[in-house]
Structure formats: structure tokens, C-alpha cells
Amino acid sequence: MNTALTTRSRWMRIRDHLAQTGALAFRFRQLITAWQSSTAETFADVHALPAGLRADLAEQFGPRLHPLTPLEVQRDEQVEKVLFASDTGARIETVVSHYRAGWDSMCISSQAGCGLGCTFCATGAVGLVRNLTPDEIVAQVMHPHWTREGLPRPASVAFMGMGEALANPHVFDALTLLTDAGYAGMSARRVTVSTVGFAPNLARLVDEHPQVTITLSVHSPFTQQRARIVPLEERFPLARSLDILDRHAATSRRKVYLAYLLIADVNDSDDHLAALAELVHERSRPELFHVSVIRYNEAIGAAPDYRAPSSTRVDDFVRRLTVRGVHATRRRQFGTGIDAACGQLHGKYLAANPSVAAPIDTELIPVTPVHS
């Protein structure tokens, strides 16, 4: 079991507590097994543990195993979106996509709101409420809600929900909880972290979790325009993140994904296509870079002049990238009818009801030193 988790992880604190009280080591394993099964909601439900130990854990850490409570469920064709409330009152959304091939993929949030202000995104229009803790992040995957709905644990998990994952240093502990065999035990290759280019923690990610799949949001190959779409460009230029991923691809031989949100009459011109193709060809291992083209979705709080291109236009953009020798596909999207698609999460809850937002927890603001 990886012992690098910080004490911010509740599961690490529980393990330390059991050791300090003299509980046998296998008791923690029994607790984790119950957690992995996604059926136990409270310590009292873990009947493999002695009653006295269950009572002690409930007294020390509260009665519940999970720090999230589902408040509302919305369903669309092949998609389920759950609004969770944390124990501190923050609200986040989690989306599960059900593929006809028989497997499920989960899109989880890393922050309540987001402070980066990307102009295509409803979450960015809300602003940052706070970072999620490792346990809040992982609880989205492990919560008994899914078992009650008759769903298996998802085959894959993507940090593509609310927030910029790499702006939250607690994501690293969450990744350990998800992928360590002593905790959730998911394959790292089935976990994707999406970022708009938070470069310092991107470098940390490829170093500490090299088998995790990475998606870097590009959205424009032109610096000035990208800065209007993704303001973080002014702090951490796209070129810096691409350099990090160049080295990562060469070392790990892992495929890297470049997300490109296609917006009508904004970034869908012939010049954009040519520059995007050139950006890929400039990589040291261009065959390991794959462009995922996403049709823009209307989102609350997004730039009012943004419009979705026609479906034909998206397909043609992908086709012409392929003709230029770029590996490219169109990302399949579900859930636009319930604001569950890319860029749409959490707009109506916080924008319409700002009183539900928890105050910013200064202890959870990113603590990793950042230098532009």
C-alpha cells in the first residue's frame, strides 16, 4: 500500500488511528473491502468489524464512510448526472455515461466551481468555491448511490467535471486512492486527467502518475486567441505544457490527447486547422498525439457570441486533420439535454442559487508553489 498519502486523506487518518489503538492490521483491510464493494454507507454497516471498533470509528470520524450526499439525479439518453452535496455544504456534479457496448465511464469533479474563467465553460462562470478534498473526489466514484442504482463500478474515470484538476493539489492523493491496490485499485490507464495547462502540476503528474492518461485542452493554436478562450494561457503558455507532454510521450510511450473545442466562426477556419496540424507535427513523437475534436455546447455564463458548428462541419474538420496526417476523432458526447456535456456542468445550481456555495476554505487553496 502506498504510504505517500498526506494526512488530509481521511483513509490515511483512519489507518493511523487503527494502528495507534492496537487494532490488528487486517481490520483496516476489512474496512477497505467494505468500501470497495460500494455497499456500506456507515461504519455500522461494516459488520465484519467488531461492534466496539465500529462505534469507536464512528465517534472519531463521524458515522458515514462517504463525505457526499446525493441531492438530485437527472437522466438523459445514456447519461446520468448526480448533484452531490459535501458535508461542508459545497455542491458538485458527477456524470456517468452508459455506452451501448456495455461499459460505463464516469466524469468526476475536482473543485466546486472553478477560478480559471475559460470563456466557453459554465463552471468557470461560477468562480472557485473551493478545492475538493481527496476523499470528496474519490467518493464520487465509490459512493453507494451507484450500487443502489444497479450500476457496476465504472470501467474508466475522467477528471473532466467541475474544476481544473491540476489546480487542486489534493488531486494527487485522490489519484493514489483510486489507483493504489490497497485502496480502490483501479488501473491507472483507465483514469484520465484533463487540464487546460496548469504546467507545474502537469510536470508533477507525469512524474508521479506516469500511467494516467492525459488530455490537454488546446482550443486554439494561436497564442492571443487562446488567451481569450483560456485565460491561463497568459500565465502558463500552451508551449510549456506541450514541452512537458513531449518528454512524457517519449519516455512513457503513452498516447497523449489534445482536446479541441470547435466553436463556429471562432476557431474552425482553414488557418486554425493548418496551425493545429502543424502543432502536432512539431512534437517529438507526433504519432502519440491524438486530437479529440469536441462540438461546442451552449453553456450558462459562456461568451454570448459562441455558437456550435454544424455536425457536418465538425466531421469535416476531423477528416481534414486526418488527411494532414494527424490522428484525430470526434468525441462522442451525451447529456446536452441535462447540461451534462463538456463545459456545461454546475451552471444553474450556483449561478441561480449562489447561497448554496460554501465559503472558500483557505486551507484548500492550491498550496503548490507556482512560478510563471
Per the residue annotation, which of 41, 80, 93, 164 is the catalytic one? 93
Alpha helices in 133-197 (DSSP H): 134-142, 144-148, 171-179
Buried b (16+ CB within 10 A) or exposed e, 295-305: bbbbbbbbbee
Per the residue annotation, which of 107, 114, 118, 342 is the catalytic one? 342
Non-local CB neighbours of 305 within 8 Å, separated by 6+ positions: 266
How does DSSP assign 270-325, residue by residue? HHHHHHHHHHHHTSSSGGGEEEEEEE----TTS-TT--PPPHHHHHHHHHHHHHTT
Contact 339, 72 (CB under 8 A): no
Alpha carbons 104 and 156: distance in angstroms, whole number: 7
| 342 in active site | yes
User: In a 3-state reduction of DSSP, which class is residue 109?
Assistant: coil
| 41 in active site | no
Length in residues, the chain: 372
Non-local CB neighbours of 150 within 8 Å, separated by 6+ positions: none
Q: Beta 156-159 vs 191-195: how paired, if at all?
A: parallel
Catalytic residue annotation:
93, 342
